[in-house]
Chain A
Amino acid sequence: GAVVSQHPSRVICKSGTSVKIECRSLDFQATTMFWYRQFPKQSLMLMATSNEGSKATYEQGVEKDKFLINHASLTLSTLTVTSAHPEDSSFYICSATSVGGSYNEQFFGPGTRLTVL
């Protein structure tokens, strides 16, 4: 149980295009989903927290107009990187906490590697 999937697992795009990454909780309903970014040999940096049906809360320094988050249902959150640039190339990981579960237990997706040319 408690499986989180991400799609796509890997994407390469041209500078200036937009990329959408999906995060799904497959066998549970997620009250909250988190989006992280991880650069090589660095830790996970929280970008934003999203709750179903409400606006995402962004961490300091994360541009909300550049990283659009939509949490349309209890099983799906999407992150759209708008007008991507090479410096946005990174490993993007989502996680989710389950309805009724311990809010300290986050289940992570497998990550999406974004390369912007």
Chain B
Amino acid sequence: QKEVEQDPGPLSVPEGAIVSLNCTYSNSAFQYFMWYRQYSRKGPELLMYTYSSGNKEDGRFTAQVDKSSKYISLFIRDSQPSDSATYLCAMSYASGNQFYFGTGTSLTVIP
């Protein structure tokens, strides 16, 4: 079983839709949860970074962590064509700095 599971998609939505991206994990020792956006042939860029269970909002993006279910989500409101990219979830332990990545979900927002 992989440490982090993420549906690779692809996911295609119309402009303006709400997008929900999800990851599950098996190791309850993960304490930090990140979402990265990666455009084609580019390096990942950090979107959201959370520590505790609950919601964290930043503009059109909301990150949600449910440690009891070992489940994290990223919601994108009012999706735009410029949001078309691959979204990667990543997790790490409280100590050490190794990241464990999901496989990424490919998102296309259609104008």
Q: How far is the CB of A7 from chain B (nearest CB, A)?
A: 13
> Binding site of A, secondary structure by majority: helix, strand, loop or mixed?
strand
* Distance in angstroms between the alpha carbons of A41 and B43 in the assembled complex: 14
Residue of B nearest to A45 (CB): B101
Indicate if the CB atoms of A46 and B103 lie closer than 8 Å: no
Indicate if the CB atoms of B41 and A93 lie closer than 8 Å: no
Indicate if the CB atoms of A43 and B97 lie closer than 8 Å: no
Indicate if the CB atoms of A104 and B43 lie closer than 8 Å: no
Residues of B within 8 A of A107 (CB): 46
How many residues of chain A have a CB within 8 Å of chain B? 24
Residue of B nearest to A59 (CB): B98
Indicate if the CB atoms of A104 and B49 lie closer than 8 Å: yes
Indicate if the CB atoms of A105 and B46 lie closer than 8 Å: yes
Q: How far is the CB of A111 from chain B (nearest CB, A)?
A: 5
Residues facing A in B58-111 (CB within 8 A) are 88, 92, 96-99, 101-104, 106
Q: Assess whether B16 is interfacial by the CB under 8 Å rule.
A: no
Residues of B within 8 A of A103 (CB): 96-97
Indicate if the CB atoms of B43 and A43 lie closer than 8 Å: no
Q: How far is the CB of A39 from chain B (nearest CB, A)?
A: 11
Indicate if the CB atoms of A44 and B46 lie closer than 8 Å: no
- Given A104-B97, A106-B97: A111 in contact with B103 (beta carbons within 8 A): no
9 A-B contact pairs sorted by A residue (CB < 8 Å): A41-B8, A43-B104, A46-B98, A49-B98, A97-B97, A103-B96, A106-B46, A108-B45, A111-B42
- The chain B residues found within 8 Å of chain A, CB to CB, are 6, 8, 32, 34, 36, 41-46, 49, 88, 92, 96-99, 101-104, 106
